[in-house]
A = this chain, B = another copy of it.
């Protein structure tokens, strides 16, 4: 916990008045369950709160950033930014993965690198920050950590390459596009997938990722980048 406090102070100028709150935000249910007699709080309630403050701040950001986009587009963008995989990435960027308290079983099975656990801890941290400080401080943190990546367009890409590829290919009518897993490596909690995208049965792009979805996106991206014309 000392080390976490140092990281927060150094990188984000955040000092918690209530250290217990901070500790709770980083305590996974598996740890609390293992130490049931000590009645340790876990981070689920804080995650509930953090999720809500995150939704609001991202909604407000998107509302102002895109004055012309209809509500449906804003919702989609928000969903991409606040989804588990994205939040897990932010948690890693902040080194939060090092400080989560896990039960032994969860630790052994690779929980420290699991997107759900990381994303939940990230949200719980936001909830704790809201309670310890206020919504303005949470906003500052989000503008330090998340918004620069959003502005860099990291989130428009993630789900867009598959759609983009489809749009490019279907200009001349319907085309058969398939994604095929060519290999799956690593233990259950730390898999890497290789995926190929096939157009009319012919491979036009390859990608690798931690989930099938991400690998498919990479494959689509690869196909788009190689230039479609040379392939079909």
Which residues of A come within 8 Å of B, CB atoms? 44-45, 47-49, 51-53, 55-56, 59-60, 63, 69-71, 74-75, 127, 130-131, 135
Neighbour of A71 across the interface among B47, B60, B75, B135, CB < 8 A: B47
Copies of chain A in the complex? 2
Q: Decide if B70 touches A59 in the complex (CB within 8 Å).
A: no
Partner of A63, one of B45, B56, B63: B45
Q: Give the one of A45, A63, A69, A70 with max B CB within 10 A.
A: A45
Docked CA distance A79–B71 (Å): 21
Q: Give the docked Cα–Cα distance between A56 and B57 (Å).
A: 10
Question: Which B residues touch A63, using CB under 8 A?
Answer: 45, 48-49, 127, 131
**CB closest residue in chain B, given A47:** B71
Taking the closest CB of chain B, its distance from the CB of A29, in whole angstroms, is: 10
Closest to A58 in B: B52
With contacts A44-B71, A70-B44 taken as known, whether A49 is within 8 angstroms of B60 at the C-beta atoms is: yes
* CA gap between A45 and B44 in the complex, in Å: 30
Q: A75: which B residues are within 8 A, CB to CB?
A: 48
Min CB distance, A37 to chain B, in Å?
18
Cα(A152)–Cα(B127), bound, Å: 27
A-B CB contact pairs (8 Å), 25 listed: A45-B63, A45-B71, A45-B74, A47-B71, A48-B59, A48-B71, A48-B74, A48-B75, A49-B59, A49-B60, A49-B63, A51-B59, A52-B52, A52-B55, A52-B56, A52-B59, A52-B60, A53-B56, A55-B56, A56-B56, A56-B135, A60-B130, A63-B127, A63-B131, A135-B135
Contacts of A49 in B (CB 8 A): 59-60, 63
Q: In the complex, which residues of chain B have a beta carbon less than 8 angstroms from the beta carbon of A55?
A: 52, 55-56
Chain B residue numbers with a CB within 8 Å of A130 are 60
* Other A-B pairs, 19, CB within 8 Å; known A48-B71, A48-B75: A44-B70, A44-B71, A45-B69, A45-B70, A45-B71, A48-B59, A48-B63, A49-B60, A51-B59, A52-B52, A52-B55, A52-B56, A52-B59, A53-B56, A55-B56, A56-B56, A56-B135, A63-B127, A63-B131
